[in-house]
Amino acid sequence: MGDLWQPKSGALTLLAIALTLLTLLPHAHCSEHTAGQDASSSGLLQRVKRGWVWNQFFVLEEYTGLEPLYIGKLHSDMDLGDGSIKYILTGEGAGTTFTIDDSTGDIHAIQRLDREVKAQYMLRAQARNRLTDRPLEPESQFIVKIQDINDNEPRFLDGPYQATVPEMSKIGTSVIQLTATDEDDPTYGNSARVVYSILEGQPYFSVDAKTGVVRVSLADMDRETKENYTVIIQAKDMGGQLGGLAGTTSVHITLGDMNDNPPVFDQRLYQMSVPESVQVGTVVGRIWAKDRDVGANAEMVYSIIDGDGRDTFDITTDPTNMFGIITIKKPLNYERKPSYTLKVEGANKHLDPVFRQRGPFKDVTIVHVSVEDVDEAPVFDMPAYYVELSENAEIGTVFKTVSARDPDVANNTIRYSIERSSDPGGYFDITSGSLMTVLPLDREEISWHNITVLAMETK
């Protein structure tokens, strides 16, 4: 047997009044029928009227008293109070949840009733002769309906919630709709009538008391100033009145980024240098136009829009779409041009039409590139020389003068020599660029001499 309980005084008063009215006015819910009865020794059947059949009884749930809860009373017009009639109760919960005093017809609940578990019980009642056990009236069906009390608080079954709303949204913009569920009876009183309110998150957000829609309540919220907000929403039943039960949930709201910030170069002038000897395609340096936006809204496109190095240098955007990479597209020569100036523009790749009116989302900087001098080897005025010389030329004959220069600005003096591996016989010598014979020549012995001349700077 479950808990036994006693009704609250108010509930018991209402119940007693309802049952008393039914008892005093039996014909309001009665029906005529023919019952088998020993009305006379001849066994004739007599039409009688039942005065104890009601459509339903009502009882409040969650009664926690110590005594069984009185539900109502069944009484037949044939009951003369002499104990000859026995009342029988069958159906849902008969004997386990509900009992009947078979002499008086009083029905009690002996278990704690929970409307949210079972809202009503279908029962049947019958009056029988206690001695013969013969039915005096046909079996009748009635309902015990469990009336709701406010014993369930509203619950947010899907919380906590995550939501995103674009930054700079207008006041009233919908963010998310929350729904709290109350297991109490929505058709009885205000136990399940929920009202929403915001406990934390003002003045940035608000909630509609009836619909649970969370909305923006502060204009021009800037993601770059504050990106994340935690909003606490309460749902209270009883229409929000004092004494109602409440449940809360949290909503984590993130401001989505809008392209509302132009890029700005972190330097107004970049100084870079590169040796003159580097190959085409070499990276000179990188620049960065910072953007307070994120994601696609911060992606950049860089271009060289002016300057004397537009034909010599190129700029591309790195794979992250953030940095500008400056590279060489033509060979450099310090002696010809020792420095270049580039005017570079960084612009947002994706423009938001909402903020386009605020002005161009781009910035400009200056890049100064210095070409570093490299100590270059002397350069001959010709890559090769072809000379014809008679085999009977006298020793000491000067047959060719070669010339090399230092391409560097220093323009150092050049010293010449013959690579001995190219003249193993030692037939020739060079002085101040002049080639001369030092041994007799014989065409029949050697008809061709391939001489390598070295030029070296003297410092």
What confidence score (pLDDT) does residue 310 get? Answer: 94
pTM of the entire structure? 0.61
Tokens read off for 170: 């207008």
Q: 9-147, what's its fold?
A: Immunoglobulin-like (2.60.40)
Which segments of the chain have a pLDDT < 70? 1-56, 354-360
Contact 59, 15 (CB under 8 A): yes
Over residues 5-43, the pLDDT tens digits come to: 333 333 322 222 223 223 222 322 333 333 333 333 333
Tokens read off for 427: 């037939």
Tokens read off for 454: 């070295």
293-325 core/surface letters (b: 16 or more CB in 10 A; e: else) = beeebbbbbbbbeebebbebbbbebeeeebbbb
Alpha carbons 37 and 137: distance in angstroms, whole number: 8
What confidence score (pLDDT) does residue 358 get? Answer: 61
- Taken in order 410, 412, 418, 420, is the CA torsion positive or negative? negative
Rounded to 5°, angle at Cα 187 from 183 and 193: 60
Q: Is 264-372 in the same CATH topology as 9-147?
A: yes
Contact 267, 289 (CB under 8 A): no
What confidence score (pLDDT) does residue 324 get? Answer: 96
What are 365's strand-pairing partners?
344
What confidence score (pLDDT) does residue 29 get? Answer: 31
Can you tell me whether residue 84 is helix, strand or coil? coil
Pairing of strands 140-147, 120-129: antiparallel
The matching CATH number, chosen from 3.30.930.10, 1.10.260.40, 1.20.1260.10, 2.60.40.60, for 379-458 is 2.60.40.60
Nearest one of 278, 229, 233 to 252, comparing CA atoms: 229
What confidence score (pLDDT) does residue 17 get? Answer: 23
What confidence score (pLDDT) does residue 439 get? Answer: 93
Nearest one of 458, 446, 241, 276 to 369, comparing CA atoms: 276
Written as one letter, the residue type at 437 is T
Q: Which homologous superfamily does the CATH classification assign to the domain defined by 264-372?
A: Cadherins (2.60.40.60)
Instruction: Give the residue extent of every domain in the chain.
Output: 9-147, 161-256, 264-372, 379-458
Over residues 137-176, the pLDDT tens digits come to: 888 888 998 887 788 899 999 989 999 999 999 999 999 9
CATH number of 161-256: 2.60.40.60
Tokens read off for 222: 């800037």
